[in-house]
Amino acid sequence: MTVLTILSLSLLGRKMRKLSQSIDNKPLNVEEGKKYIWNNTVWAAIYIVVFSLTVLSSIPWLWLMSIDAHWYSTMYSWYTFASTFVAGVALITLFVVFLKNNNYLELTNEEHLHDLGKFMFASHFLDLFVVLSVYVDLVCKYSGRNNLLQTKSTGECIVEFSGSCLL
């Protein structure tokens, strides 16, 4: 899987580089420019999908399983994806602040920065949810409590954890 991922990302990167080099020495008219932007957008979208499904989620899980084959949590892919997503939003925010301070983003105002901050704050909850899910899963698994979800006579689902019930 790792070789397939590296091969597919290399081929997509080579294709995007060829697209970029194809217009280096020739001026484009409006129609050729639109066609170039469309092709570049399509190949970039394909690259992002392949990258996010492999490097951001499944490849770290496979690498971890090759090191420790007794890792039982299937939440690891979600954990790496959520952590990388939060880090990406934070990096985008830092770049926007840097470019704004150097007068490159004239149309960006305080509301845009506030919205990026809210988005970063909200995406932390996804990361927090995944981390807590992995933690509860591992603690329950290694404490001998395998009955995570139980249904009482009332039909409500509860998580039973070390003798206490967490709703």
Q: How far apart are CA 160 and CA 166, in angstroms?
A: 6
pLDDT in tens, 89-142: 899 999 999 999 999 988 999 999 999 999 888 888 887 887 787 777 767 666
Angle at 128 between CA 109 and CA 121, to 5 degrees: 10
With a cut of 80, say whether residue 52 has pLDDT above it: yes
**Given this model, what pLDDT does residue 159 score?**
52
Question: pTM for the whole thing?
Answer: 0.56
For residue 37, CA distances in Å to 26, 32, 68, 107 come to 15, 9, 44, 23
10 Å CB burial of residue 124 (0-12, 13-18, 19+) is: middle
**Given this model, what pLDDT does residue 88 score?**
85
**Given this model, what pLDDT does residue 141 score?**
65
Q: How far apart are CA 34 and CA 14, in angstroms?
A: 21
Q: How far apart are CA 80 and CA 127, in angstroms?
A: 9
Domain regions of the chain by residue span: 1-71, 73-167
pLDDT in tens, 60-71: 777 777 776 666
b/e per residue, 79-89, with b = 16+ CB within 10 A? bbbbbbebeeb
**Contacts (Cβ under 8 Å, ≥6 apart) of 86:** 120, 123, 124, 126, 127
**Given this model, what pLDDT does residue 8 score?**
92
Largest interatomic CA distance in the chain: 75
Q: How far is CA 21 from the centre of its chain?
A: 29
With a cut of 60, say whether residue 58 has pLDDT above it: yes
Backbone torsions φ then ψ of 163, nearest 5 degrees = 90, -20
